[in-house]
Amino acid sequence: MALLPILRFPDPRLKKVALPVAKVDDSIRKLVADMAETMYEAPGIGLAATQVDVHKRVVVIDVSEDKSALQAFINPMLSRCEGSQTGEEGCLSVPGIYDKVERAESVVVTYLDLEGKEQTLAADGLLAVCLQHELDHLNGTVFVDHLSLLKQTRIKNKLAKQARVTA
Report the pLDDT averaged over residues 97-117.
97
Q: Which of 135, 111, 94, 144 is nearest to 21 (CA)?
A: 111
Question: Looking at 37, 41, 65, 134, which residue is catalytic?
Answer: 134
Asked if residue 130 is part of any domain, the answer here is yes
Asked if residue 37 is part of any domain, the answer here is yes
Asked if residue 118 is part of any domain, the answer here is yes
Quote the CA–CA distance of 12 and 43 in Å, as a whole number.
Answer: 23
Beta strands of 113-164 (E only): which ranges? 118-124
The whole-number pLDDT of residue 165 equals 82
Asked if residue 91 is part of any domain, the answer here is yes
CATH code of residue 136: 3.90.45.10
Asked if residue 136 is part of any domain, the answer here is yes
State how many domains the chain has.
Answer: 1
Letter for the amino acid at 7?
L
Range of the domain at 148: 12-166
Report the pLDDT averaged over residues 148-158.
93
**16-49 pLDDT, tens digit each:** 999 999 999 999 999 999 999 999 999 999 999 9
The whole-number pLDDT of residue 85 equals 96
| Cα dihedral: 6, 11, 16, 21 (round 10) | -10
Q: Active-site residue 102, yes or no?
A: no
**69-92 pLDDT, tens digit each:** 999 999 999 999 999 999 999 999
The whole-number pLDDT of residue 80 equals 96
Asked if residue 6 is part of any domain, the answer here is no
